[in-house]
Amino acid sequence: MKDFGVILGELEELTAAEERLFISLLPHRGLEKAVVGKELARRIGINERDMKRTIAHLRRWHKLPIGSSKSEEPKGYFLIQTADEARLTTRHMWREAINILKVISVIEKQMLPELLGQLRLQWRAEEKGDEESES
Confidence band for 126, pLDDT divided at 50, 70 and 90: confident
Residue 58 binned pLDDT confidence (cut-offs 50, 70, 90): very high
CA distance 40 to 109: 40
Quote the domain boundaries for residue 95: 83-135
- Statement to judge: residues 66 and 112 lie in one domain: no
User: pTM for the whole thing?
Assistant: 0.74
Listed residue (78, 81, 89) closest to 40, CA to CA: 78
The CATH number of whichever domain residue 65 belongs to comes to 1.10.10.10
Query: Cβ distance 65 to 79 under 8 Å?
Result: yes
Model confidence at 96, pLDDT cuts 50, 70, 90, reads very high
- On whether both 75 and 27 belong to a single domain, the answer is yes
Compute the distance between CA of residue 33 and CA of residue 35 in angstroms, rounded to an integer: 7
